[in-house]
Amino acid sequence: MNAPAKPCLDIRNLSAVLPNGLRVLRSVSLAVEPGEVRALVGESGAGKTMIGKAVLGVLPPSVRIVEGNMLLEGEDLGRLAPKARRTLIGARTALIPQDPLTALNPSRRIGPQMTDRLVRILGWSGEKADARIRQLLDEVQIRDPERVLKCYPHELSGGMRQRVLIAAAFAAEPRLIVADEPTTALDVTVQKQILRLIAQLQREHGTAILFVTHDLGVVAKISQKVSVLYAGKVVEEADTAALFAAPQHPYTLALMAATPRYTDPFASLKPVDDKVLAGLAAEIAAADQAWRRPHG
């Protein structure tokens, strides 16, 4: 009982390159413990979405993983045959996407889209899948599931669509959910409801979440652990509480100072200092050089 549990997701030293040799992930290591929310925060181009895609096995074909391992509940994804890998990922993970509109097929009703995955990938019976979906729609506080199941995606509001996708993600009882900027497209008041829902379902189902976001505010509210990314490199990782109490890396500090806060307008929105960026560039260059040496 006291034996240390295996992390739900364990990424070790993951590097990925583009065909032109540019490293887009730079020896990334991070772990998500069972039932924990780890935020992955960074600006555009930081590679945060790329990590989520790597975990789900949906990297674009041009991105090649050249080093490192990804362990899903102790199983090394890199060592599995493609089919076995797909099955494992399909059974144990789920995605809450950024754009709920493009994530749903516009020409199919919500109901069959939600049950499909349960029936096809997990081999559930139609009735079981249907019952499960209804239960989850109830959990995401959709009051009239009958109507929603018969709707086409465009007939629902953005918030409703995101609720549907959250229900679908939790329905198969995955061990790990990758949430890729799930509230970026939403209004603040809806964002708060959705974050609340994700947190509540996550607690009740004990699901681990890799939560990709660009917003430090969201990080503070939703996560227990956080990895700060810049240019595909984890520059700082910490308990969320510790990170906000005392950020260590100059980039984290700069990011916090740049994030707007209405409670303290003049201490926030500080442009990132050029010295910080120069320091980051040097750090990345040094890391790349150290990495190239053994890799030729």
Partner 1 sequence: MVEPLFSVRGLKVALPDMTRKPLIGRAPLAEILKGLDFDLPRGSVTGIVGESGSGKSTLGRALVRLLEPSAGNVMFDGRDITHLPEAELRPLRRNLQMIFQDPMSSLNPRRTIFSIIAAPLKQNGLGDNLKARVAEALQRVGLPQSFAGRYRHEVSGGQRQRVGIARALALSPKFVLADEIVSGLDVSTQAQILTLLEKLAAEMGLTVAFISHDLSVIRRLCRQVIVMREGAIVEASATDTLFEHPRQAYTRDLLAAIPLPEIDDAWLLPAPKAPA
Partner 2 sequence: MDEARISRHGSRARLWLAGGWLLIALLAAIFAPLVAPQDPLAQDLMLERLPPFWLGGAEPGYWLGTDSLGRDLLSRLIFGARIAFIVAFAAAFAACLVGSTLGLIAGYFGGWADRIISRIVDVWMAFPPVLFAILLVAVLGTGLSSVIIAIAVIDWTRFCRVIRAETMGQSRMDYVENARIAGYGRIGIMLREVLPNVVPSIVALLSLEMGIAVIVEAILSFVNLSISTDDPTWGGIIAEGRLSIHQAWWVLVFPLVTLILTVLSFSQFGEGLRARFDPVLR
Q: 91 vs 258, which CB is nearer to partner 1?
A: 258
CB of 295 to partner 1, least distance (A): 30
Q: Is 135 in the site for partner 2 (CB under 8 A)?
A: no
Count of residues of this chain found to bind partner 1 when the rule CB under 8 A is applied? 42
**163 to 202, contacts with partner 1 by CB under 8 A?**
187-192, 195-196, 199-200
What are the E-state strand segments in the chain? 9-17, 23-32, 37-41, 64-72, 75-76, 93-96, 176-180, 208-213, 225-230, 233-239
Kindly write down the DSSP assignment for every residue of 150-168, as one continuous string.
HS-GGGS-HHHHHHHHHHH
Q: How far is the CB of 143 from partner 2 (least distance, A)?
A: 37
- 144 within 8 A of 187, measured Cβ to Cβ: no
Contact between 20 and partner 2 per CB under 8 A = yes
In angstroms, the CA 231 to CA 6 distance is: 29
From candidates 2, 20, 44, 289, binder to partner 1 by CB under 8 A: 44
Residues 6 or more apart from 5 whose CB is under 8 A from it? 33, 34
Q: Which is nearer to partner 1, 62 or 200 (CB)?
A: 200
62 makes contact, choosing from partner 1, partner 2, none, with CB < 5 to 8 Å by partner type, with partner 2
Nearest one of 186, 187, 182 to 166, comparing CA atoms: 182
CA distance 250 to 256: 10
| Spatial separation of the C-alpha atoms in residues 228 and 196, rounded to whole Å | 23
Positive or negative torsion for Cα 138, 140, 143, 149 = negative
The stretch among 17-25, 105-113, 211-219, 269-277 that binds partner 2 (CB under 8 A) is 17-25
Residues 37-96, interacting with partner 2 (CB under 8 A):
61-62
Q: How far is the CB of 147 from partner 1 (least distance, A)?
A: 18
What are 202's two structure tokens? 């996550």
18 binds partner 2 (CB under 8 A): yes
- The pattern of x and - marking residues 188 through 217 that bind partner 2 according to CB under 8 A reads ------------------------------
Specify the 3-state DSSP secondary structure of 114: helix
Stretch that binds partner 1, among 64-72, 170-178, 218-226, 284-292 (CB under 8 A): 218-226
Residues forming the site for partner 2 (CB under 8 A): 18-20, 61-62
Q: Which spans of this chain sit near partner 1 (rule: CB under 8 A)?
A: 43-44, 158, 187-192, 195-196, 199-200, 214-222, 240-241, 244-245, 254-256, 258-263, 265-266, 268-272
